[in-house]
Amino acid sequence: MCKTIDHVLVPGTFDPITCGHIDVVRRARRICPKVTVAVAESLGKNGVGTTFSLDERVELARSALEAEGLADVEVRPFTGLLVDFAREVGAGAVVKGLRAMTDFEYELQQADLNYKLDPGLESIFVMSSPQYGYLSSSVVRQIASFGGDVSGLVPQNVASALKDRF
């Protein structure tokens, strides 16, 4: 018997959430009635930690999604293993956006590990929309750190937060 998935997670560090992330969330919402954005604590991200605290990243994501008409998408922080969080919230799949082959290799490895830990948790990949294929949180942070204009790359609330931070 085939079990329908009615709840998916869109996980990430979201440091900060970008227009590319919002595109993935919007597309996940089109294919599933319930979407939860799972904001990872990621204490050791890139060996230096995150630019924004976990609470700040959750609030930036909530505000950005609400402004984009996605107020029905839940945003929750999590620590530990994604498979444990998925079980906790009752999600049956993880949705990830892919920009390039390097994303695919990394995400396939993560999907394989998640499958090993929980064979019932599906992985769904969506290709990046062409206008966001180059976009990453790290690129946004770098541009912002040099005083560059990040409007159009991130929601307005995030652009303001980055300006205040840098």
- Catalytically active residues are 21, 45, 99, 137
Instruction: Report which of 129, 116, 110 is spatially closest to residue 40, judged by C-alpha positions.
Output: 110
Under 8 Å CB-to-CB from 60, ≥6 apart: which residues? 14, 16, 17, 52, 157, 158, 161
C-beta separation of 166 from 144 below 8 A: yes
Which residues in 32-60 are b (16+ Cβ under 10 Å) and which e?
Answer: bebbbbbbbebeeeeeeebbbebebbbbb
C-alpha distances in Å from residue 86, one per residue of 11, 32, 52, 166:
10, 15, 24, 34
